[in-house]
Amino acid sequence: MMSFSTSDDLLKNWCVLVVDDEADSLEVAQTLLEMCGATILTAKNGQEGLEKAIQHRPRFILSDLSMPEMNGWQLLHALKNDVRTQDIPVIALTAHAMQGDRELGRAAGFHNYLTKPLVPETFINTVLTLLLGVPSLAADLASRKSGE
């Protein structure tokens, strides 16, 4: 089974956008990603996230769903409708964990759907494993993975 060893340079040179209106949640995700060497952009709502995504074109986006002004669904819709951002994988990270929510998310176009609370020890590994399915990232990720 492939896995990534969480080292401080695992995501070196990677720019990741985290969108969440809740400051604590935003910080947990941001901290975990930064511990692996990633550069983090944060946004407090979908609108802000969309602007930063267009401007910085991050490798991938972690987005909450329930947010003021522009929620995660609307953000996804906007990103997919923009040529500049339509290739960026968006992973939902949400406290909506009722039966059926995951399927709705996948159907809407999220690359994948993770529920809060996240598991700190395995979070990075889980995210990167999910991203292996993205062709544009696959090669880069393959060079960073370790172990079988």
**Cα 50 to Cα 90: distance, rounded to the nearest angstrom:** 12
Given the rule CB under 8 A, which of 51-59, 73-81, 89-97, 137-145 is the region that contacts another protein? 89-97
CA-to-CA separations, 108 to 13, 15, 36, 73, in angstroms, rounded: 29, 24, 29, 8
31 touching another protein, by CB under 8 A: yes
CA 71 to chain CA mean position, Å:
15
Using rule CB under 8 A, residue 120 touches another protein: yes
Q: Which of 44, 77, 80, 116 binds another protein (CB under 8 A)?
A: 116
* C-beta of 83 vs 98, nearer to another protein: 98
DSSP 95: S
Q: Count of residues binding another protein (CB under 8 A)? A: 21
Instruction: Say if residue 94 is exposed, middle or buried (CB neighbours under 10 Å; 0-12, 13-18, 19+).
Output: buried
Instruction: Single out the segment in contact with another protein by CB under 8 A; choices: 47-55, 74-82, 118-126, 132-140.
Output: 118-126
Minimum CB–partner distance for residue 99 and another protein (Å)? 7
Residue nearer to another protein on the CB measure, 85 or 94: 94
143: contact with another protein by CB under 8 A: no
Contacts of 45 by beta carbon, 8 Å cutoff, 6+ apart: 19, 21, 67, 68, 69, 70
Tokens of 121: 């020890």
C-beta closer to another protein: residue 117 or 147: 117
Site residues, another protein (CB under 8 A)? 22, 24-25, 28-29, 31-32, 35, 66, 95-99, 115-121
